[in-house]
Amino acid sequence: MAKKTNVLVIGSGIAGLTFAIKAAQKHSVTLITKRNLAESNSNYSQGGIAAVISQDDSVQSHVQDTLIAGAGLCRQKVVEEICSRGPRLIHELQKWGVKFSLSTKGEKHFELGLEGGHSHRRILHAGDITGKEIENSLCRRARLHKDITILENHAAIDLITKKRVGHGSGADLCLGAYVLDVHNQSVKKFLADYVILATGGAGKVYLYTTNPDIATGDGLAMSFRAGVPVENLEFVQFHPTCLYHPDAKSFLISEAVRGEGGNLLLKSGKRFMPNHHALAELAPRDIVARAIDYELKKSGEECVYLDISHRGAGFVKKRFPNLYKTCLEFGYDMSGAPLPVVPAAHYFCGGVKVEVDGQTLIPNLFVLGEAASTGLHGANRLASNSLLEGLVMAELCVKKINSLDKHKKSTFYRNIPDWNPGNARDPDEQVIIEQNWDEIRRFMWNYVGIVRTDKRLERALRRIELLKQEIQDYYWNFRITADLIELRNLALVAELVVKCALKRKESRGLHFTLDHPSANIASLPKDSVITP
């Protein structure tokens, strides 16, 4: 039995929830998410959201900072569009119940933070749990909306398109998705006029990441299998400062700590960032991450240290209450001593090739947020621009489908087949999934990490081609599980990252290769595009 809806949203971060809330004013919306509603990359964002609020700041300055960070690969019109819409959307979030931190100047004054690459204080935050505060407000609003149906613990498997189900010739069209109900292990068929993928990034393709376990590149993989190109996946942002502790699971230490005066130190206690960049600790993330990687390789040490204790215990506890509490649980008092930190995979600047409103090459299929590549981030994302991008894309996508809806009839097709499990049997060797997952993450970290070479990339590609075949054989022989869906997607994303990296014969932004250490603007295509 098919489940029909006007709009199917897959993913529940800031982009997916904002889109669902706004689209539900005119459409019936079904939102599916593979864990609980609040579990998303957005929920773990500590630092904040960038927008021009101060009278001392300007949209043009925000645009310029973004372009500089993007190392020549941003699409300027996209940057201008997104930065200019920020201030109004911040006030809209306030109306929706988001409580941003306020300064001592009064209720109308935001407490604005400063982060690497920004020339002004423009980071709005809610203490140091900004993502959680935004996510909770959006979840409450979505749950109360009568035209939004929320289905948790539902994992999307693949998109349904005209070409996939053999309906007619001509241009392809997205019709819906096959989705696994994780609780009862049944596959459902969802049909929709519009499908919105807001599935987040793919940090779990790396051994060390700031991302939660759900970040497995599902939207990237599903779009590519459906025939949509991806681009610039070589630009993986490694966050410079994650807590180094065996039980911390790469707990993120916000960039705002450096923005508020935190210094990076060697084990000896000596600062090293002034030797790497004029902005020192406030240099863009790619530079800071590479500097740490360089110093660790040179010294043989396992970590460097981030010290903000000189700001005093009162300031640290007030500005970073969640960070302070969590670090204390791991045995570190950040108000009195430096924190051990290492870089970890954090954010994908590339993704599914889309317009700024999320439209892909397949009609009625849209991709929003981190899974998308609009050209905002270029070769390196400016800190705290990600939540802003999700908000703006969601609004523009709603505007787009509203305009399309005036000129279209229902796109539902008859005789779309149900999911066919074939002769698949229940899986009896979970160790195969765990082993392949672990192997992918390890060779991606070692061969496709902060610093790369052609030889390492080629080695990674050979490994992923073998593993993909193993996973594909397993996929068709055993019944679908959530773990198998994620492993299949991660394997494809790993392959696409490596292929994009091999295409870029230069070092730029987040892609640094010892074989091609200089930028080569004249002879290279601007974007690394991989077409299915």
pLDDT tens digits, residue range 449-508?
999 999 999 999 999 999 999 898 888 888 889 999 999 999 999 999 999 999 999 999
pLDDT at 166 over 90: no
Q: What is the 3-state secondary structure (H, E, C) of 208-230?
A: CECCCCCCCCHHHHHHHHHCCCE
Last residue of a domain, one of 313, 330, 345: 345
The three-state (H, E, C) secondary structure of 338-388, written as one string: CEEEEEEEEEECCEEECCCCCECCCCCEEECHHHEECCCCCCCCCCCCHHH
Q: What is the CATH number of the domain that holds 267?
A: 3.90.700.10
SS3 for 72?
Answer: coil
Q: Are residues 340 and 387 in the same domain?
A: no
Residue with tokens 């204080």: 121
What token pair was written down for 9?
């949203």
Kindly report, residue by residue over 407-461, the tens digit of the pLDDT. 665 555 667 888 888 777 776 667 788 899 999 999 999 899 999 999 999 999 9
Instruction: Give the residue-averaged pLDDT of 253-258.
Output: 91
pLDDT over threshold 70, residue 274: yes
* Residues β-bridged to residue 271: 265
Q: Which residue has the higher pLDDT, 419 or 74?
A: 74
Residue 513 pairs in a beta bridge with 452
Of the residues 298, 318, 345, which one is the last residue of a structural domain? 345
- pLDDT for 173: 92
**How much of the chain exceeds pLDDT 70, in percent?**
95
Domain of 191, CATH number, reads 3.50.50.60
Does one domain contain both 57 and 182?
yes
Predicted confidence at residue 316, as pLDDT, reads 96
Residue 422: inside a domain: no
Q: CA-CA distances (angstroms) from residue 399 to 23, 141, 494?
A: 9, 20, 33
pLDDT at 86: 96
Spatial CB neighbours of 168, under 8 Å, sequence gap ≥ 6 = 162
Same domain membership, residue 359 and residue 329: no
pLDDT of residue 406: 65
Residue where one domain finishes, among candidates 296, 322, 345:
345
CA–CA–CA angle 150, 151, 155 (5° rounding) = 135
Please state, rounded to an integer, the average pLDDT across all residues of the chain. 92
The answer to whether residues 399 and 435 belong to one domain is no
Residues 216, 182 within the same domain = yes
DSSP 8-state code for residue 511 = B
Q: Residue 1: which pLDDT band, with cuts at 50, 70 and 90?
A: low
Active-site positions read 285
Give domain status of residue 455, yes or no.
yes
SS3 string of 289-327? HHHHHHHHHHHCCCCEEEECHHHCHHHHHHHCHHHHHHH
Q: Which residues have C-beta within 8 Å of that of residue 441, sequence separation ≥ 6?
A: 204, 205, 206, 207
Residues 360, 218 share a domain: yes
Residues linked to residue 196 through DSSP beta bridges, in sequence order: 9, 366
**128 falls in which pLDDT band (50, 70, 90)?**
confident
Report yes or no on 421 lying in a domain: no
The answer, yes or no, to whether residue 106 has pLDDT greater than 60, is no
- Residue 110 included in any domain: yes
- Distance between CA 235 and CA 349 in Å, rounded? 6
Asked if pLDDT for residue 524 goes beyond 70, the answer is no
DSSP 403-455: HHHTT------TTPPPP--TT-B----HHHHHHHHHHHHHHHHHHSSSSB-HH
Separation CA 231–CA 229 (nearest Å):
7
191 and 168 co-located in one domain: yes
Cα–Cα dist 384/214, whole Å = 21
Query: What are the two backbone dihedrals, phi and then psi, of residue 182, each rounded to the nearest 5 degrees?
Result: -65, -35
pTM for this entry: 0.91
Q: How confident is the model at residue 163 (pLDDT cuts 50, 70, 90)?
A: confident
Residue 415 lies inside a defined structural domain of this protein: no
Return the pLDDT at 407. 61
Structure tokens at 41: 């990359």
Res. 16 pLDDT band, cuts 50 70 90? very high
Confidence of residue 321 (pLDDT cuts 50, 70, 90): very high
On the question of pLDDT at 105 being above 80, the answer is no
Together in a domain, 440 and 490: yes
pLDDT for 380 beyond 80 = yes
| CA–centroid distance for 291 within its chain | 23
**Structural domain contains residue 417:** no
Contact 346, 211 (CB under 8 A): yes
Closest CA to 481 of 428, 417, 416, 418: 428
What average pLDDT score do residues 308-317 get? 96
Q: Which helix (H) or strand (E) holds 50?
A: strand 49-50
Total domain count for the chain?
Answer: 3
**338 and 359 share one domain:** no
The residue-averaged pLDDT of 90-102 equals 95
Q: How confident is the model at residue 525 (pLDDT cuts 50, 70, 90)?
A: low
- The domain of 341 spans 240-345
Would you state the pLDDT for residue 413?
65
CATH number of the domain where residue 506 is located: 1.20.58.100
**Is the same domain home to 80 and 29?**
yes
Tens digits of residue pLDDT in 182-210: 999 899 999 999 999 999 999 999 988 99
Q: Is 249 part of any domain?
A: yes
Alpha-carbon gap, residue 286 to 68, rounded angstroms? 12
Of 92-101, 374-383, 427-436, the poorest mean pLDDT is in 427-436
In a domain, 366, yes or no: yes
217 and 294 within one domain: no
**Whether pLDDT at 249 is above 90:** no
Question: Do 359 and 497 fall within a single domain?
Answer: no
- Determine the pLDDT at residue 251: 87
